[in-house]
Structure 1
Amino acid sequence: MLMSATSFLASQIRSTIAATVHSTNTLVTSLKSSLGYLGKDSSTSEPENQSALSSVPLRHEQYPSLQPWKGLDRRLKNYGYTMPVSSNYIAPRYPIVLCHGLFGFDKMGPDAIPHLQIHYWKGIHQALNKLGAKVIVARVPRTGSIIERAEDLHKILSTTMEGSPVNFVAHSMGGLDCRYLISHIHNKNYEVLSLTTLSTPHRGSPMMDWFRDNFGVGLLLQSEEDAMRKLGEAAKLSKEAVQEASDALHSYLQNVAGRVMSSGYRAAPNPSPISPLLNKLIPYLDTPAYANLTTTYCKEVFNPNTPDDPRVSYYSYGASVPQIPLWAPLGFPWEVIKAKEGENDGLVSLQSARWGEYVETVEADHWDLNNRWRLKIGYDQKPFDAIDMYMNVATRLYNNGF
């Protein structure tokens, strides 16, 4: 009797497996037919169908049922996870160089324990690699001047990208570094094809003006302004003049003693209203980057003397949010910039972010653009998918031939 029961049970299991396999084959055949991979003649050989199916990308927006996790994808990315890269994105033909902004970095933390590391481009570098793009994550002086940062970037690329074309993708101040490198650093052993800037203050930030006028940080050295103007004039002349101007800039960087304010439009700042002690600390808190990010420097010194290279394609994205409450870290800067220049992301206005071919405005604050996660208390902001934006940037570069 036990043998009979065992035989009966085995028979039922075989029947169930056979039915499951048959149902699966039917489902696969139906799916291929609905997607157009099977012609009217259903007797087409299986290997040919499999080849066709694997060679044509499936667009998720056309077949949403094929990506049931799509709604979850956006939420998980905001917490640092990287979901599968959509097949309708395409990697650019040439490497991408990611260039960070003020106070930026590549990564922080012990190499021996990757889970404890903090990445400036959280999840973005990995997603671009997964797409098939070659990515260089640059690291330059966090609060250095545009000139210092550009020269360090040039040194990195000279050793890692010799003989290769590159595409710059820059966040915030990184876009100004790249513009300087493109226009003023010559005899490069690599070729810059394009620059895509993401909320770069091409015309400066009123917030830096506010700090300069109220706290005395960000005061421009007369020597730097003179050197920059001389470099701009040299860009229109001979190679000898360019070299002379470059030597003058190196001399400036090596000897920054003696702060001398420009005359005319640059009035002395008001003393700090907080305390005399803070006034004494200001010179130690100041950095070269602050002066380079004022609207005065960008509009009247940097831009007129940093002409675009006609061989390079320039693209830009801007960002803005409807409101940031005052208690949030970007709340007060948002109010200052809103009063001066209108829509902004908490540090850079749309007006300042436009350069070259303007692609679009995204609804995000300044820190969202490099996928920086932090707790937002007391205000409702629509979730922003930074990784999706960089996938679109990569695809756009490919479509434009880069």
Structure 2
Amino acid sequence: MLILLHIACGLDSRYMISRIRPEKFKVLSLTTIASPHRGSSVADYVFDQTGAERLPQIYYALNRLNVETGAFGQLTRKYMTETFNPNVPDIEDVRYFSYGAAFEPSIWSAFRMSHRVLASIEGPNDGLVSVSSSRWGGESGYKGTLMGVSHLDLINWTNRLKWLAAEVTGNRRKFNAIAFYLDIADMLAKEGL
């Protein structure tokens, strides 16, 4: 059983299962959460706005700040649909499951701009990945869309101050990442995986 939570891990795990084919263990299933299986319009937008001639300078600046940039170009919709997916097919005896997420950002959200870009092109999204791009594993493999959940909520990075403010104002936290992951483990156990 592999449960993957981060944007790159789902794609890395698909690659590992399909291309590396580990021999020391057997992968029975892969569950991805908000992985951009079909790329992200946010990556497309950044590349379009930046322009190819300025990319080396931006990569240099980000690398100096210790921000990893290597995979960013591989998150475009074109790369994912024309290069990655055709070369990383699903393996027949592995069960694939996926979840997506969607929310409406507040005025203070770090995802306001990226959400707007994604919503205008791909529809509902978690601020970084659209629901349509998150879907993987066929109809029976898509387990659902988590509503009111951002990408940071999914990886349990939601800021504690936000939780405190919500509790003080009488709003309860609507999403508990740890409980969600435990539910996935329970679902996989019931599936015999």
Q: Which residue matches 1:214?
A: 49
- RMSD (CA atoms): 2.2
Deviations 1:315-352 (A, max 9, x none): 0011001x113542111111110001010010000000
Deviation at residue 382 of structure 1 after TM alignment? 5.8
Residues 326 and 332, structure 1, Cα contact 8 Å, conserved in 2? no
C-alpha distance in structure 2 between counterparts of 1:389 and 1:187, whole Å:
28
Q: Unaligned regions of 5+ residues in structure 2, if any? A: 64-68
The answer on 1:361 being equivalent to 2:142 is: no
C-alpha distance in structure 2 between counterparts of 1:358 and 1:187, whole Å:
25
Q: How does 1:65-84 map to 2 (within 5 A)?
A: none
C-alpha distance in structure 2 between counterparts of 1:401 and 1:329, whole Å:
39
Q: Which residue matches 1:370?
A: 155
Q: Which residue matches 2:115?
A: 334
Q: Secondary structure at the match of 2:84?
A: helix
Q: Which residue matches 2:18?
A: 183
Deviations 1:186-207 (A, max 9, x none): 3521111110000100001110
In terms of Rg, which structure is larger? 1
Q: Which residue matches 2:180?
A: 389
Q: Secondary structure at the match of 2:28?
A: strand
Give the one of 122, 127, 133 matched to 1:352. Answer: 133
C-alpha distance in structure 1 between counterparts of 2:23 and 2:151, whole Å:
31
The answer on 1:169 being equivalent to 2:6 is: no
Q: 1:280 to 1:326 in 2, by over 3 A?
A: farther
Q: 1:353 to 1:280 in 2, by over 3 A?
A: closer
Q: 1:213 to 1:398 in 2, by over 3 A?
A: same
C-alpha distance in structure 1 between counterparts of 2:32 and 2:39, whole Å:
14
Q: Secondary structure at the match of 2:30?
A: strand
C-alpha distance in structure 1 between counterparts of 2:172 and 2:47, whole Å:
30
Matched-pair identity in %: 41
C-alpha distance in structure 2 between counterparts of 1:187 and 1:194, whole Å:
13
Q: Which has the higher contact order (CA 8 A, sep 6+)?
A: 2
Q: Which residue matches 1:240?
A: none
Q: How does 1:38-117 map to 2 (within 5 A)?
A: none
Q: 1:351 to 1:195 in 2, by over 3 A?
A: same
Task: Give the TM-score of the pair, scaled to structure 1.
Answer: 0.41
C-alpha distance in structure 2 between counterparts of 1:303 and 1:327, whole Å:
35
Q: How does 1:191-230 map to 2 (within 5 A)?
A: 191-216=26-51
C-alpha distance in structure 2 between counterparts of 1:337 and 1:187, whole Å:
35
Number of equivalences = 175
Residues 201 and 293, structure 1, Cα contact 8 Å, conserved in 2? yes
**Counterpart residue identity of residue 168, structure 1:** L
Question: Which stretches of structure 1, 4 residues or more, deviate above 6 A after TM superposition?
Answer: none
Q: 1:206 to 1:381 in 2, by over 3 A?
A: farther
